[in-house]
Amino acid sequence: MRELINNAEYDVVVVGAGPGGSMASYYASKNGAKTLLIEKSQEIGEPVRCAEAVPKMEDFGITPDPQFVRSHIKGGYLVAPNGKIIEVSGGKTDGYVVERKIFDKYLAVRSARVGTKVAVKSRVVDLEHNGNGYDVIVSHLGEEYIIKAKIVIAADGVESSVAEMAGLKSKKIPTQVCSCAEYEMTNVKLLDNEMMEFYFGDISPKGYAWIFPKGDTANVGLGVIDKHKKAIDYLNEFIEHPILEGRLKDATPIEFKCGGAPVGGPIEKTVDDNIIVVGDAAGQISPLSGGGIYLSMSCGSMAGEVAAKCIKNNNCSVDALIEYENKWKEKYYDTLMTELRYKNILQKLTEKELNALADAMDDKLEEVDVKKIAFKAVKNAPSLLKYFKEII
Ligand SMILES: Cc1cc2nc3c(=O)[nH]c(=O)nc-3n(C[C@H](O)[C@H](O)[C@H](O)COP(=O)(O)OP(=O)(O)OC[C@H]3O[C@@H](n4cnc5c(N)ncnc54)[C@H](O)[C@@H]3O)c2cc1C
């Protein structure tokens, strides 16, 4: 494997073999660019920091294969602090809970099949601009190597440092990162084995708790933004919370996962000469749900395609790479910013106000139409107007 990184030269070097990086490398290779995918972990897909829910992978031409699909999902239950349950299903709510250890590996294999070279246990520690691209400094088993890349795609996740090495601002503000803790548990009594469960209120301040069916197991976790108590302490309390009516009494963990979800909205500048930023590194994650797999795959695909086109045209300047930024912004920017506004409002609501909001909602919905719900909620509880006046 050493020859892949020892004084090697590539058109495109993708840093990080998460869903964003593997999709970027797939499209770069498929469109003719000589591509290397670098992953610091010794095993792609490990450690898992995810509740593993993925909407419609078919959008990317990926068949939901039983090797990584653990559950089919038809929707979710939103549970208010007072226990009111709102069912959201029947619209665009179907998807899957996957085994990410296998899914991420599958995406990397799929990319390798179209020509991507993959270097694992290789951490990018620095970038130096060389006039024609980047010297990528990689640490592998205690040795440092230099790789030349005409374009670097930084897909290195929430703790992204690669974009910063190239002078882009990708560091996340700690108060905009949800701290998450999760047990994968067995012997969980689910409300329905095709429905995800979401719990709001003081159970998980400024975030939510979840139970996602995963075949014989379930992912039971939560994300909080709180400096007083750790996510794991909230999680241990959630498991015994009366709202679950003892459904986790006999459950036992088989895995513990933790991590951060950057829910503060996307970074503004995602390209510069010879560099592109994608996925969590670019804040391309839903501020409301913390879901980022689909977005990172979609934006990663765009990044790979544009990178290959720029290589073909022999122009890897910011003026050429901006096509990627224009594409993802056109498709997702407004939605992400609207979600950010809604999230900021939701985070201010007390449990009483969350209950009033839930009481204004029908018991069963196909989709969450925030404007309609806000209007009804204000009619039922005029005190909510101060939060919702900018929406209705
Ligand atoms: C607890 C939790 C639950 C979540 N649940 C869901 C969910 O159910 N559904 C959903 O859609 N999203 C969920 N998310 C978010 C989702 O996990 C991310 O949005 C998604 O993984 C982003 O993909 P990515 O490719 O951008 O980054 P990542 O998947 O984080 O991949 C980045 C990769 O880069 C590697 N890397 C980092 N630095 C370097 C370096 N210097 N050199 C080489 N490699 C490097 C890392 O090892 C990693 O493999 C959750 C997040 C958390 C924390």
Q: What is the pLDDT of residues 184-217, one digit of tens each?
A: 999 999 999 999 999 999 999 999 999 999 999 9
Residue 2 is predicted with a pLDDT of 84
Q: For domain 53-98+174-262, which CATH number applies: 3.40.50.1220, 3.40.309.10, 3.40.50.150, 3.30.9.10?
A: 3.30.9.10
Reply yes or no on whether the pLDDT at 172 is more than 80.
Answer: yes
Question: Does 20 show up as a binding residue in the annotation?
Answer: yes
DSSP 151-191: EEEE---TT--HHHHTT---PPPGGGEEEEEEEEEES---S
Tell me what percent of the residues of the chain surpass a pLDDT of 90: 85
Sheet architecture: strand order including 195-199: 252-262, 177-186, 217-224, 208-214, 195-199, 75-79, 85-89, 364-365
pLDDT tens for 322-376 read 999 999 999 999 999 999 999 999 999 999 999 999 998 889 988 888 888 888 8
Residue 388 is predicted with a pLDDT of 87
pLDDT tens for 106-149 read 999 999 999 999 999 999 999 999 999 999 999 999 999 999 99
Q: Summarize the confidence of residues 45-61 as an average pLDDT.
A: 94
Residue 382 is predicted with a pLDDT of 87
Ligand 1 center–CA 205 separation, angstroms: 22
Residue 197 is predicted with a pLDDT of 98
pLDDT tens for 217-269 read 999 999 999 888 999 999 999 999 999 999 999 999 999 999 999 999 999 99
Length of the chain measured in residues:
392
Look at residues 32, 23, 15, 11 and name the one whose alpha carbon lies nearest to residue 108: 23
Phi/psi of residue 129, nearest 5 degrees: -70, 135
- Of ligand 1's listed atoms, the one at least distance from the Cα of 258 is 1
Residue 169, classified by CB atoms within 10 Å of its CB into exposed (0-12), middle (13-18) or buried (19+), is exposed
Residue 182 is predicted with a pLDDT of 98
Question: Does 300 show up as a binding residue in the annotation?
Answer: no
CB atoms within 10 A of CB 127: 25
Residue 369 is predicted with a pLDDT of 83
d(CA 151, CA 148): 9
CATH of domain 2-47+100-171+264-343: 3.50.50.60
Residues with CB under 6 A from ligand 1: 15-21, 38-41, 49-54, 123-124, 155-157, 162, 180, 182, 221, 257, 259-261, 279-281, 285, 290-294, 296
Look at residues 383, 352, 345 and name the one whose alpha carbon lies nearest to residue 80: 352
Residue 317 is predicted with a pLDDT of 98
d(CA 51, CA 181): 10
What dihedral angle (degrees, nearest 10) is formed by the CA atoms of 226, 228, 231, 232?
A: 180
Map tokens 């999902």 to a residue: 73
Ligand 1 center–CA 41 separation, angstroms: 12
Reply yes or no on whether the pLDDT at 392 is more than 80.
Answer: no
Nearest CA to ligand 1 atom 31: 18
d(CA 69, CA 56): 12
Q: What is the CA radius of gyration of the chain?
A: 22
Domain boundaries, the chain: 2-47+100-171+264-343, 53-98+174-262, 348-388
Ligand 1 center–CA 389 separation, angstroms: 35
Ligand 1 center–CA 86 separation, angstroms: 29
Residue 279 is predicted with a pLDDT of 98
Residues 6+ apart with CB under 8 A from 173: 264
Map tokens 């910063």 to a residue: 164
Residue 102, classified by CB atoms within 10 Å of its CB into exposed (0-12), middle (13-18) or buried (19+), is middle
